[in-house]
Chains A and B, each alone.
Chain A
Amino acid sequence: MIRNKSIGALFASPWIVSFAVFWFFPLVYSLVLGFSDYRLLRPSYAWVGLENYFTLFSDQSFLVSLKNTFIFVIGTIPVTTAIALGLALLVNRNFVGRTIFRSAYFMPSVTSMIVVALVFTNLYSRGGYIYLLAEMLGFSPPPNGFLLSSSTALYAIMAMDVWMSVGYYMLLFLAGLKSIPVELYEAAEVNGAGAWQKFRYITLPLLKPVALFIIIINTIKSFQVFVEIFVMTRGRYGTSTAVYFIYEAGLSHFEFGYASAAAYVLFIIIAVFSLIQFRLFRQRPIW
């Protein structure tokens, strides 16, 4: 059969161009910028070697934003994954109204983060529903609402994030559950396995690939938390995160070189985390 190379290249050209211009070039450009002191209104810029990187690691606001990002990632991912799995198991079997429950649980994930963040700003503020609920349960929420206090703001945003994303990961778990052959459960039943044993020795191990996928994409996503921070606190009250720092340094103070260096630090952290997760899951069973 005829395979005309130039026609094939023509067909593939949208991606080739788009990759070169909007992905490859920015990645390289960003790396280069990170070694310079380029900033707005500076006619020329100089190479400063690793200076940006040294400055970053003594820059208190960068270190704090990194710390917050880690708290966010480590705090939300296990909770989100566990709840998503729980929801998936809850709506996996056939029962009346299953579609409605599934859809409702998934609905927050398709709405815009901006909108969700705005609504939760309302719910978290003094006199808002979550505030009242907390009071009713006997807690004493901060006087100005959850978002205007350094001791609660970050955790409030994390809780919202869990609320918003569990439905999405529930769907992925459901797809994973669907791919488990029914015969396995039947065989286990014949051999007298109980519900817990079936869950422990069939469901969990066979969900491992999906769980890995979920944890990795959630890690990549959570390390980049930005929109909710921007909307709800503008990085104040101890909620600045790494991408918020990059945004502020680069697009608010216009220190392009410095911000690019910060972006690369984050890039490397995410890459290392993803690799470690791959390794951990591949080598030995974690459950």
Chain B
Amino acid sequence: MVKFFKYTILILILLVMVFPLLWMFRISFMPADQGLSLSDFMSMAFTFDIYRDIFRGGGMVRYFLNSALVGLAVTAGNILFCFMTGYGLSRYKIIGQRFWFYSIIFVLMIPVHIIIIPLYLLVFKLGLYDTYAALILPFLVSPIGVFMVKQYIDSLPPSVEEAARMDGAGEFRILFKIVMPLCKPVLAVLAIQVFLVNWNSFLYPFILTSSDSLRTLPVGLALYQGHQAIDWPHLMAGSSLAVVPVLVIFWLFQKQIVSGITAGAIKQ
């Protein structure tokens, strides 16, 4: 009886949590011109027309490719740079070591949205406004990524590196051939987290670009205008394009995502 009650609650909550996304997918298969009401989940109307329309050359495909390109570039950059920095801060005594470490903690506590104005002006003055560089450069070294890698390398015994050094291996060789393979787990967590955050990011791509051809998917969706009323089927098909990759990554790498999120909380 208790069990029945518990499952009833669990399933009710489950419905509340998944319904909006199901509804999004449902709308994207509705005919655009038939004027279906906002609550026609069970309607028999079903068509692939919207997707055909989108893939025929609407802006959505462009936005999708932009998002993918920027996301992959930022992720690759973060893997390399966060790893290098994390290693440098963990294993070497450098000038201002404590300062650099605390700068990471400091930045993690800063409300990021308060620097949108100066960042916009900076990007403008560097001549990067409305370029792919504006979407990539500022996000190549994520503070949380550096933090995660540094903590991880701190926990590795330095003996392997020492042995390699005794054998005459150079510092770069040690870094990429010896330490990097050991860091695979943390780098995987980092890569997934960075990609997801970047894929979903709206404010920065929105303020740092202006032309339609540079819009990422979130920006394209937010600024999508139907001719008169909101064109729900097209909008929801575009939204599905934004959500499907995330859901795939989510189901494949759930373990990494969860450990990335909880790592910070437990250290605390």
Q: Which residues of A contact B (CB under 8 A)?
A: 1-5, 7-19, 21-27, 29-30, 33, 87, 90-91, 95, 97, 100-101, 103-108, 110-116, 118-123, 125-129, 131-132, 163, 167-168, 171-172, 174-176, 179, 209-210, 212-214, 220, 223-224, 226-227, 230-231, 243, 246-247, 250-251, 256, 259-260, 263-264, 266-267, 270, 274
Chain B residues 72-118 with CB under 8 Å of chain A are 80-82, 84-85, 87-89, 91-95, 100, 103-104, 107, 109-118
CB closest residue in chain A, given B251: A103
CA separation between A254 and B171, bound complex, in Å? 49
Q: In the complex, are the beta carbons of A171 and B262 less than 8 A apart?
A: yes
Which residues of A are found within 8 Å of B29, using beta-carbon distances? none
Q: In the complex, are the beta carbons of B265 and A115 less than 8 A apart?
A: no
CB closest residue in chain B, given A123: B20
Q: In the complex, are the beta carbons of B13 and A87 less than 8 A apart?
A: yes
Instruction: Give the contacting residue for B141; candidates A3, A14, A106, A226; CB below 8 A.
Output: A14
Which residues of B are found within 8 Å of A250, using beta-carbon distances? 116-117, 120
Q: In the complex, are the beta carbons of B37 and A9 less than 8 A apart?
A: no
Which residues of A are found within 8 Å of B162, using beta-carbon distances? 1
Which residues of A are found within 8 Å of B50, using beta-carbon distances? none
CA separation between A104 and B250, bound complex, in Å? 11
11 contacts between A and B (CB under 8 A): A11-B92, A11-B175, A19-B104, A21-B122, A108-B20, A110-B246, A114-B221, A175-B265, A213-B265, A251-B120, A263-B113
Q: How far is the CB of A176 from chain B (nearest CB, A)?
A: 7
Q: In the complex, are the beta carbons of A263 and B254 less than 8 A apart?
A: no
Q: In the complex, are the beta carbons of A256 and B88 less than 8 A apart?
A: no
CB closest residue in chain B, given A6: B94
Instruction: Give the contacting residue for B111; candidates A22, A122, A220; CB below 8 A.
Output: A220
CB closest residue in chain A, given B220: A114
Listed from nearest, the 4 A-B pairs whose CB atoms lie closest are A8-B92, A11-B88, A12-B88, A14-B81
CA separation between A135 and B7, bound complex, in Å? 27
Q: In the complex, are the beta carbons of B221 and A125 less than 8 A apart?
A: no
Taken residue by residue from 120 to 157, chain B's Cβ proximity to chain A (1 for < 8 Å, 0 otherwise) reads as 11100000000000000010110100100000000000
Instruction: Please give the number of chain B residues whose Cβ is less than 8 angstroms from any Cβ of chain A in the complex.
Output: 88
CA separation between A15 and B141, bound complex, in Å? 6
Pick from A8, A179, A226 the residue with the most CB of B within 10 Å. Answer: A8
Q: How far is the CB of B8 from chain A (nearest CB, A)?
A: 12
Given contacts A9-B94, A123-B20, A129-B23, contact A263 B115 (CB under 8 A): yes
B243 within 8 A of A: yes
Q: In the complex, are the beta carbons of B109 and A123 less than 8 A apart?
A: no
CA separation between A213 and B109, bound complex, in Å? 11
Q: In the complex, are the beta carbons of A120 and B20 less than 8 A apart?
A: yes
Which residues of A are found within 8 Å of B261, using beta-carbon distances? 168, 171-172
CA separation between A108 and B22, bound complex, in Å? 12
Q: In the complex, are the beta carbons of B203 and A33 less than 8 A apart?
A: no
Given contacts A15-B146, A115-B242, contact A129 B39 (CB under 8 A): yes
B10 within 8 A of A: yes
> Besides the contacts A9-B88, A111-B21, what 20 more A-B pairs have beta carbons closer than 8 Å?
A7-B171, A8-B91, A9-B94, A11-B175, A13-B85, A15-B100, A16-B100, A18-B138, A18-B141, A22-B119, A23-B107, A26-B115, A26-B119, A90-B6, A101-B13, A107-B247, A112-B199, A119-B236, A176-B265, A250-B120
Q: How far is the CB of A115 from chain B (nearest CB, A)?
A: 4
CA separation between A97 and B13, bound complex, in Å? 14
Which residues of A are found within 8 Å of B182, using beta-carbon distances? none
